[in-house]
Structure 1
Amino acid sequence: MKIFRKPHHNILLSFFCFISLVFSATCFAISKLTTEDFAQLPDVSNLVLSPSGKKLASTVRVSVGDTQGVAVQVMDMATQKSKIVLFTDNSKFFFKWIGWKDDTTLMVSTFTPSERDTWIGMSAVRFKTRDHDLLLIDTESEKVSQPISKKFLQRYKITPSVRDWVVDSLYDDPDHLLMAFPGMDIGFMSGLVVYKVNIKNQRATIYHSHKSNIGDWMTDQQHRVRVGTKVEGDQVSIMVYDLDSKKWQALWTYKIFSDAQVDPLGFGKDPNEFYIRAYHQSRQAIFKVNLKDPALKRELVLSDPHYDVKGNLVFSPVTGEVIGVGASADGGTRFFDKNMQNLQAKIDKAIPGHRNYIYSMTNDLNKFLVFSSNSTDSGTYYLGSMNPLKLDAVAYGYKKLLPELLSKTERIEYLARDGVKIEAFLTLPNDKSAKNLPTLMFPHGGPHARDTGVFDYWAQFFANKGYAVLQMNFRGSDGHGIEHRNAGFKSWGKEMQNDIEDGARKLIADGIADPNAIGIVGGSYGGYAALMGVVKTPDFYRCAISVNGVSNVYDLVKDRRAFWLSYNAIDEQIGNDNSTLKAISPVNFADKIKAPVLLIHGTDDRQVEIKHSYQMRDALQKANKEVTFLELPSEDHYLSNEKNRMDTFRAMDTFLDRCLPAKAGQPVAVN
């Protein structure tokens, strides 16, 4: 197989002018990376081929003078000419995903932090939310439209937040989409209805009526609504429509968080061939079920002895058959089809040591995209073609973050104090020996997420400054099976916190970490863990950085609890005992903290409200503790605005230089 690797492609030349897909290995001289190099938004992301392969869409970073943001770019593959069809400065709205409906129409999902403040009868309705909208771009005329009209939304007394839910793109119908919206009950939202939306005139007609407590509608490949998820209290039922009896049946019912969980994934070409994700030997695996089989016998299709199998189904654009799963924990795409397995093997051989994901295949399967990444490769996009098999590198995620300048990440394991095995990923600075290093513990957010050891711009930034960085999948992390996930329930500030500290103690015992120079940093739940770390072990950590972090667990649970429901999942995950919730809230123990604290928070964060950082700042100031607070204007939970991201990294840079210096000869303050 021919492979052309050209990793320094500059996608964006200026705001209106783009260069063709030509790389130059000498575009950027190898030099010391700066804080700004890590803090900038990706140069390019979200590449997708049109069904015929004639066009390539992507999101690209724009930074020309005072104009900064992200644009949707479309390239004509024949002429190699590109044009911007949509731009945002990441203050009013943000891009979520892009995808082709057909060769002309591009779908773009956006989200916007927003609020509701209205009266219904004698009651005021006020809450903060995110509005999710779908935009349609005619890539020939560059006209941008929405699939639904304002008149359609005016029927609701409270405007629904999710307006981008595409149930079925109807790839063989250029004029319509199937979309889900709440039903109507005297102007109030009730259930989920599937509408057939005419994208030419914005007219929506009911395609499938709502059924009580059922949502997450799914169609088969013949575009019939066949699956829904019913939730009643803590019980979940997977409802499937039987084509013969024409009745809805609850084929699987399970209790939330139990090992009987079944996730519907989709249908094969045969409308009775159905794929599910369910537990196999305590790990989630992929099964195939014949819906005509009364016993619903499960045929194991894909499993992993170490990790849950995640990802969506991959369909052949030629046959419609299911040919693989689009992601796995420790590799790229996992194919069932022999020809695709051979293709994957050849690509893995050509790009060794990377996770190579084959996706966005054209209708004739002659062209496809590959996203390739590892800890030192921020993401290289390849355009692949068959007959002959060839790969051309067409974009690089961060053009300045060259692999030779980044630090390799190593997978390690350690035992927590109670014997639980914890997987972790250690990133060491390139220019220092792995001995007695200042070290940052970097727990992930979620907490039901996981680190995998692939490129992480935060970890690379810290390692570039001279720190050892440890990312650990503490109990409660996703992907390691049901026992590991459920072990995190009601253990915020307790065993989960111990898992983080025990990782630091492992590095100290191995001689890697300086015991007098340990810091802790994180975002979201990781921000909570950073704050709780300096509360629980005030003499262990020398500083803490919390970005969009939780400080008041009592408020978090109360704010997310739906009091009209008999069951709230958050009560089981975190707890509902008020005294316990207050006891695991860092805001209540500011007097115990000895280390300097940096708080950073976006004003429009809808995941963790900024009041958490306000409260923590006020508590620390009242207790006469050292605290620095950075408020990010018009920022959501994800540091999507480049100026805010730059300000965040500069603030962390300055804070760490003062409180936990990594440069030789600089003393570390000891509490």
Structure 2
Amino acid sequence: MTRLKYLFLFLLFGYANIITSAYGLEGITDPAQIPAENFFKENTEFSYRISPDGKQLAFIRKYTQTYNIVITDLDKFVEVHEFAVSKNSPEHLTWISNSRLVFGLSGVIYSVNQDGADLRVLLSNIYDADKVKGYISFVDNLRYWSLLKRPRGNEEDVLFLSYNSDGHANVHKINIYTGEKTDLYDAEELKADGLYTDRDGKVILIEKIKKEQHSFYRLVNDKDDLELASLDIANQRYQLNYDAKSYLNRSVVVHEIGYEKDTMYLSEKTSGDRYQLVKYNYATNAHEVIGSDPVYDVGSPDERVSLHYDYKNRKLVGFSYNADKHKTVWLDERFKKYQQTLDKKYPGQINIIYDWNENADKLLVVSSDSKTKGKVIVFDAAKNKAIVQTDYSNVLSPDHMKDTSIYKYKTQDGTAITSYLTPPATSSTKKWPLIVMPHGGPFARSHYGYDGHMQYFSTRGFAVLEPNFRGSTGYGVQHLIAGKQQIADLMLADIADGVRALINENKVDPSQVYILGFSYGGYAAIMSAIKYPDLYSAAVSAAAPLDLNKQLKHYKKEEHWFAYEFWQDLIGVKQQGKKFVESISPYQRVDDIKIPLLVFHGDQDSIIPKEQAEDFKKLVEKKKLNIPVRIIQSEGHGWDLVSSNTYFAEKAVELFKANKKSAQ
């Protein structure tokens, strides 16, 4: 055997052992021994894209100081090129031919050969340098670019979207080799904040935003005259416009313009409580339901549907949405067979096909469950061969961890709630200690899948409950809007009812029930500690709004008009008044907190300013209350650093294990 073959076998079989040893996982049978930081390790390889001919794979690899583009030869399955491109993370890496790629950096578009040669700026932040004569002309020429789509039947030109300094959108056709620009629609004429175009760059819908009002228009006779856009569905006209109050209860949500002539894809709830996916012809008003679910929305204002196209044959071949788990519906027989093959090769996993070459015979797949961050797999359909490109879970021990299951319970008023329940991976008792993790938003939802905090808590002996209380998206409009003006009442009651259901089933130890969350989940943790001190033993809050009146003032000061009006309506300020808002604000209710509480906040949080946490800290110190407040450096509203997430998780477990209620 040659040295090269020995080396290949070592890399193939020995690499996993090196990684396992390096992270101290060798011989681990007790998941509690997995180091906490392993649950939060970032993925250093991402943005995988397969070339049009299916012969090469491109992806981004992160190092300490640089981000590199890496090219793998898929015939030999070896890396053939790697070159540095930036100290910052590239965006939207895309093949635009079999030998050339484009990517974005802070709104600038670069193009480069697959071997790293001929790296150049394709589109600069300065639209026309010859016109820059001073500050005003400089600002007028500033642009932020993003890739839109390739025109039909054109190999040289690509459609790009740009935003000028006023936030107005433009559409351009760019020759990827010469850089020649053709302006298809200009912001100065349309003053559009958003554009929906067909595959030739023709603008079909124009979105304009004025404070909290979003209005949709169409061009009249392909000129600059505009008229309000509406859609005719079953002989009933539906407006596309919405504002902060009507946002959650829209009848129609447009996703994108399709390949077929005069076709768009949208989600609508004109005939029931659930959104369904529709193919709509905006010339004839003909519409066809192509996706519906009796339990879940197929798309909604806050949950977009992923549409999957066969670009060579110019047709929609499938779509994905969130049901109990991520679900893909294939409309094409080839892809149905691919999915069946992959599900057979990787049983019990969610196998998501997300990219493929022009012939659709080489595919990129992410295979994962709630115990794993997932594997990136290259699937050669012609050879029926699947090769693991990257295993994101090589620093964990998934075989010794617990999967998440769907748990459904009834509230006290009989409403059915769907939640996710992960049992302890290590437990010496029949009844579990429980951590409740309400999601943020609150108009969002918990999903099935890997979550570092959830799995860390499970390996430390806790069950984890993630309830989709009323106000959560994806379960129909009535379930969603039932949460309006109920953030400190019905939502918290639904969460508490999930705990009671598990206690009544003798699954959970009532003396060891805890609550923890981020953003609204952090708010829910504090307010639940106030409202249900007999149910919860301790609480941990992160990135929470602590003073709702100050939060509203922040939105108004920063002119975030949509957020300001949305949250006024959500809370019920006009109906209930400022005194009511104070009564549901943790800052004004601090004396009512009777169970142990730990509060965290990022010092770079631009959504909920750190001043609220600092004021809260001063207040509890003035009152000499034992409520530690930790301001985490270099973190925003969502936390990215491994050290921050590790510190947070370890401190939460430390608090919970130290606070078990005494027997009643």
Q: Partners of 1:508 and 1:272 in 2: how far apart?
A: 55
1:81 maps to which of 79, 82, 89: 79
Q: 1:22 to 1:225 in 2, by over 3 A?
A: farther
Q: Partners of 1:161 and 1:626 in 2: how far apart?
A: 51
Matched, 1:647 2:647: no
Q: 1:333 to 1:568 in 2, by over 3 A?
A: same
Matched, 1:263 2:244: no
- Match of 1:547, as an amino acid? A
Give the corresponding residue for 1:167: 148
Q: Partners of 1:670 and 1:364 in 2: how far apart?
A: 66
8 Å CA contact 1:85–1:139 kept in 2: the answer is no
8 Å CA contact 2:47–2:93 kept in 1: the answer is yes
How many residue pairs align between the two structures? 614
2:296 maps to which of 307, 332, 338: 307
2:483 maps to which of 485, 488, 508: 488
Q: Partners of 1:204 and 1:652 in 2: how far apart?
A: 51
Q: Which is further off, 476-485 or 500-509? A: 500-509
> Residues 536-595 of structure 1: CA distance to partner in whole angstroms, max 9, x if unpaired?
233432222222222122222332247696993333233334333222211111111123
Matched, 1:47 2:48: yes
> Residues 208-253 of structure 1: CA distance to partner in whole angstroms, max 9, x if unpaired?
1336674321221223222233456776554445778997551331
Q: Partners of 2:527 and 2:411 in 1: how far apart?
A: 18
Q: 1:268 to 1:652 in 2, by over 3 A?
A: closer
8 Å CA contact 1:168–1:219 kept in 2: the answer is no
Give the corresponding residue for 1:389: 384
Q: Offset of 1:427 from its aligned partner?
A: 0.6
Q: Which is further off, 464-473 or 555-564? A: 555-564
> Residues 123-167 of structure 1: CA distance to partner in whole angstroms, max 9, x if unpaired?
xxxxxxxx7666655543363747323476965897999935433
Q: Offset of 1:314 from its aligned partner?
A: 0.9
Q: 1:36 to 1:331 in 2, by over 3 A?
A: closer
Q: Residues 550-565 of structure 1: matches in 2 within 5 Å?
A: 550-561=545-556
- Match of 1:193, as an amino acid? N
Q: Partners of 1:340 and 1:588 in 2: how far apart?
A: 56
Identity of aligned residues (%): 24
Give the corresponding residue for 1:436: 431
Q: Partners of 2:80 and 2:534 in 1: how far apart?
A: 56
8 Å CA contact 1:538–1:592 kept in 2: the answer is no
Greater length-normalized contact order (CA 8 Å, ≥ 6 residues apart): 1
Q: Partners of 1:241 and 1:20 in 2: how far apart?
A: 58
Q: 1:491 to 1:667 in 2, by over 3 A?
A: closer
- Match of 2:194, as an amino acid? D
Q: Offset of 1:276 from its aligned partner?
A: 1.4
- Match of 2:281, as an amino acid? N
- Match of 1:508, as an amino acid? I
Q: Offset of 1:206 from its aligned partner?
A: 3.8
Q: Which is further off, 522-531 or 73-82? A: 73-82
Q: Which is further off, 25-34 or 297-306? A: 25-34
- Secondary structure, aligned partner of 1:360: strand
Q: Offset of 1:455 from its aligned partner?
A: 1.6
Q: Partners of 2:139 and 2:550 in 1: how far apart?
A: 25
- Secondary structure, aligned partner of 1:612: helix
8 Å CA contact 2:433–2:461 kept in 1: the answer is yes
Q: Partners of 1:96 and 1:446 in 2: how far apart?
A: 26
Give the corresponding residue for 1:141: 116
Give the corresponding residue for 1:288: 279
Q: 1:477 to 1:196 in 2, by over 3 A?
A: same
- Match of 1:298, as an amino acid? H
- Match of 2:597, as an amino acid? V
Q: Which is further off, 515-524 or 135-144? A: 135-144
- Secondary structure, aligned partner of 1:319: coil
Q: Offset of 1:289 from its aligned partner?
A: 1.6
Q: Which is further off, 316-325 or 45-54? A: 45-54
- Match of 1:607, as an amino acid? I
1:181 maps to which of 163, 166, 176: 163
> Residues 397-426 of structure 1: CA distance to partner in whole angstroms, max 9, x if unpaired?
221223202211111111223332211111
- Give the TM-score normalised by structure 1: 0.81
Q: Partners of 2:515 and 2:67 in 1: how far apart?
A: 31
Q: Any unmatched runs of 5+ in structure 2? A: 1-6, 21-25, 232-238, 300-304
Give the corresponding residue for 1:572: 569
Q: Which is further off, 490-499 or 592-601? A: 592-601
Give the corresponding residue for 2:505: 510
Q: Partners of 2:568 and 2:660 in 1: how far apart?
A: 45
Q: Residues 223-262 of structure 1: matches in 2 within 5 Å?
A: 223-230=201-208, 237-241=215-219, 250-252=229-231, 253-254=239-240, 255=242, 256-257=246-247, 259-262=249-252
Q: Partners of 2:145 and 2:36 in 1: how far apart?
A: 36
Give the corresponding residue for 1:613: 613
Q: Partners of 2:480 and 2:544 in 1: how far apart?
A: 21
8 Å CA contact 1:407–1:428 kept in 2: the answer is yes
Give the corresponding residue for 1:316: 310
1:208 maps to which of 185, 208, 216: 185
Q: Partners of 2:145 and 2:257 in 1: how far apart?
A: 22
Give the corresponding residue for 1:220: 198
Q: 1:94 to 1:546 in 2, by over 3 A?
A: farther
Q: Residues 617-628 of structure 1: matches in 2 within 5 Å?
A: 617-628=617-628
Matched, 1:325 2:325: no
Give the corresponding residue for 2:23: none
Matched, 1:344 2:339: yes
8 Å CA contact 2:516–2:525 kept in 1: the answer is yes
Q: Partners of 2:607 and 2:108 in 1: how far apart?
A: 18
Q: Which is further off, 241-250 or 422-431? A: 241-250
Matched, 1:537 2:532: yes
- Match of 2:486, as an amino acid? S
Give the corresponding residue for 2:59: 58
8 Å CA contact 2:108–2:124 kept in 1: the answer is no
- Secondary structure, aligned partner of 1:435: coil
Q: Offset of 1:51 from its aligned partner?
A: 2.6
Q: Which is further off, 411-420 or 469-478? A: 411-420
Matched, 1:477 2:453: no
Give the corresponding residue for 2:302: none
Q: Offset of 1:359 from its aligned partner?
A: 1.4
- Secondary structure, aligned partner of 1:514: strand
Q: Residues 381-420 of structure 1: matches in 2 within 5 Å?
A: 381-420=376-415
1:361 maps to which of 356, 360, 365: 356
Give the corresponding residue for 1:118: none
Give the corresponding residue for 1:117: none
- Match of 1:436, as an amino acid? K
- Match of 1:300, as an amino acid? V
8 Å CA contact 2:70–2:79 kept in 1: the answer is no
More strand by share: 1
Q: Partners of 1:95 and 1:263 in 2: how far apart?
A: 30
Q: Offset of 1:454 from its aligned partner?
A: 1.7
- Match of 1:383, as an amino acid? V
Q: 1:59 to 1:625 in 2, by over 3 A?
A: farther
8 Å CA contact 2:260–2:314 kept in 1: the answer is no
- Secondary structure, aligned partner of 1:627: coil
Q: Offset of 1:324 from its aligned partner?
A: 1.1
Q: Partners of 2:316 and 2:501 in 1: how far apart?
A: 44
Q: 1:637 to 1:658 in 2, by over 3 A?
A: closer
